[in-house]
């Protein structure tokens, strides 16, 4: 298929008549009016949920656990907009004593680190941080990318399993996360008016890519390069029987209060001095709520999504703005066409880490594209470097590399 035909075909992707997300968006469906199920779920959230009753459930949940353990709850914490807001809200609204658990995936940026130091000092909290073995992380990144075109297996399994492992260690049954999945996909939605739970079902459905830690060990262990199973414990969901025996409750705060990224970020900017940052591939004026600024590999992750599905971070941010009445559909479409899907400079760093050439990267990624999208690598151009690009750790593991 030539470039002109590919471009024309991709312009014919079915898209939500409201938010503009395409038919390749995960879990998307369109109704008779051409509006997607994510938009309809947001409508229900804004008009039909009794948030005062949800708040009463939250009140009761916190009082049930207050003072029963060394800490009232665990808050998994990256320092991004969501975890910072959930920490601020719970401490200011309920005066709880939380333990923050931070899984450091290895790509944290300086602005987030500075935000964290400021937040910890202003609020006064205990923090437990875990950083996994970098040699292991590199192997996990390469394996999950080759098999699933998603190098973030270590990050997602670690972030969603390690805090629960800590909960078991300290016997703290209550764990609060941030945004609910219902704000993002239709794996969960608001239409059933249910509380979401971060449990083993959700972990296996959304976090593992269908690859358990045991599976991963079998994939990367070899006589030439042996792999200790114990190195995968941070990415392994804890024993469910032990969690149930502890009567654990692992829930997103956004199931109890209406989650609004823009309003939440405005609050933490004002009250904590939380600062936004540039996000690779996204114009800063579109991302004043500071989405995904924690990780310097985010641009490459978003680029992979565009190669496979024909949309990426710009389109997702704009869809959120449209659903919440902050942008119209025409504005969103114009911005998506101008900015979405550009090649990020961080791709060079990723390729160095995992020892791949760009040709290999393109072949692997395009081979897992979601029909009917077909990517044209020459069409989108390159995103500019963000301000801290030259500070990011470099390590070249490609063959014939001099480093």
The CA-based dihedral angle spanning residues 142, 146, 150, 154, taken in that order and rounded to the nearest 10 degrees: -40
Q: How far apart are CA 328 and CA 19, in angstroms?
A: 8
Domains, the chain, ranges and CATH?
A: 3-25+280-391 (no CATH), 51-255 (3.40.50.620)
Q: How far apart are CA 286 and CA 129, in angstroms?
A: 31
Q: Is the pLDDT of residue 5 over 60?
A: no
Contacts of 168 (CB under 8 A, 6+ apart): 238, 239, 242, 243, 246
Q: How far apart are CA 111 and CA 133, in angstroms?
A: 23
* In the block, residue with structure tokens 């079915």: 14
pLDDT of 3 reads 47
pLDDT of 278 reads 98
* Other Cβ atoms closer than 10 A to 351: 18
pLDDT of 11 reads 65
Structural contact between residues 99 and 71, judged by C-beta atoms closer than 8 angstroms = yes
First to last CA, the chain: 39
Q: How far apart are CA 237 and CA 162, in angstroms?
A: 8
User: Which element (helix H / strand E) includes 52?
Assistant: helix 51-65
pLDDT of 2 reads 46
Structural contact between residues 144 and 152, judged by C-beta atoms closer than 8 angstroms = yes
Structural contact between residues 232 and 213, judged by C-beta atoms closer than 8 angstroms = yes
Q: DSSP label at 342?
A: P
Q: How far apart are CA 304 and CA 145, in angstroms?
A: 10
Of residues 342, 341, 343, 360, the one with CA closest to residue 352? 360
Q: How far apart are CA 298 and CA 282, in angstroms?
A: 11
Task: Give the residue-averaged pLDDT of 1-6.
Answer: 46
DSSP-assigned beta bridge partners for residue 75: 100
Task: Give the residue-averaged pLDDT of 328-339.
Answer: 97
pLDDT band at 12 (very low <50, low <70, confident <90, very high): confident
Q: How far apart are CA 21 and CA 28, in angstroms?
A: 8
Q: How far apart are CA 348 and CA 298, in angstroms?
A: 13
Q: Is the pLDDT of residue 339 over 90?
A: yes
Task: Give the residue-averaged pLDDT of 324-337.
Answer: 96
Structural contact between residues 56 and 50, judged by C-beta atoms closer than 8 angstroms = no
Q: How far apart are CA 132 and CA 82, in angstroms?
A: 23
* In the block, residue with structure tokens 């950083």: 131
What average pLDDT does the chain have? 95
Task: Give the residue-averaged pLDDT of 147-153.
Answer: 98
pLDDT of 403 reads 47
Please, what sign has the CA dihedral across residues 96, 69, 54, 84? positive
pLDDT of 9 reads 55
Q: How far apart are CA 98 and CA 111, in angstroms?
A: 23
Q: Is the pLDDT of residue 311 over 70?
A: yes
Ordered strands of the 98-103 beta sheet: 126-130, 98-103, 73-76, 174-177, 249-252
For a pLDDT cut of 70, what percent of the chain falls above it? 97
């Amino acid at each position: 298929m030539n470039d002109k035909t590919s471009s024309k075909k991709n312009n014919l992707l079915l898209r939500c008549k409201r938010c503009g997300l395409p038919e390749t968006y995960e879990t998307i469906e369109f109704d008779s009016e051409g509006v997607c199920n994510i938009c309809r779920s947001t409508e229900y959230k804004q008009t039909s949920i009794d948030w005062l009753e949800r708040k009463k459930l939250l009140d009761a949940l916190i009082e049930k656990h207050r003072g029963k353990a060394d800490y009232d709850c665990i808050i998994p914490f990256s320092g991004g907009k969501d975890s910072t807001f959930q920490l601020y809200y719970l401490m200011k609204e309920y005066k709880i004593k939380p333990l923050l658990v931070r899984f450091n995936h290895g790509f944290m940026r300086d602005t987030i680190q500075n935000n964290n130091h400021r937040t910890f000092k202003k609020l006064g909290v205990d923090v437990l941080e875990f950083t996994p073995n970098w040699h292991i992380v590199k192997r996990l990144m390469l394996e999950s990318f080759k098999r699933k075109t998603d190098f973030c297996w270590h990050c997602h399994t670690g972030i969603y399993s390690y805090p629960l492992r800590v909960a078991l260690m300290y016997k703290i049954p209550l764990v609060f996360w941030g945004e609910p999945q219902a704000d993002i996909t239709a794996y969960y939605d608001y239409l059933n008016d249910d509380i979401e739970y971060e449990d083993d079902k959700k972990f296996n459905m959304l976090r593992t890519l269908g690859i358990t830690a045991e599976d991963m060990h079998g994939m990367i262990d070899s006589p030439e390069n042996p792999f200790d199973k114990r190195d995968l414990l941070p990415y392994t969901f804890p024993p469910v029987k032990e969690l149930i025996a502890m009567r654990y409750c692992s829930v997103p705060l956004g199931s109890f209060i209406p989650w609004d990224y823009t309003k939440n970020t405005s609050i933490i900017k004002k009250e904590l001095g939380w600062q936004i940052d540039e996000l690779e591939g996204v114009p800063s004026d579109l991302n004043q709520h500071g989405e995904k600024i924690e990780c310097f590999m985010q641009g490459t992750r978003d680029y992979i999504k565009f190669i496979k599905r024909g949309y990426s971070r710009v389109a997702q941010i704009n869809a959120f703005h449209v659903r919440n009445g902050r942008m119209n559909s025409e504005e969103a479409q114009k911005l998506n066409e101008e900015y979405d899907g550009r090649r990020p400079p961080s791709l060079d760093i990723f390729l160095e880490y995992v020892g791949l050439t760009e040709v290999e990267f393109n072949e692997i990624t395009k081979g897992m594209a979601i029909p009917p999208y077909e990517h044209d690598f020459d069409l989108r151009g390159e995103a500019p470097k963000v301000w801290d690009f030259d500070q990011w750790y470099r390590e070249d593991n490609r063959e014939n590399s001099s480093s």
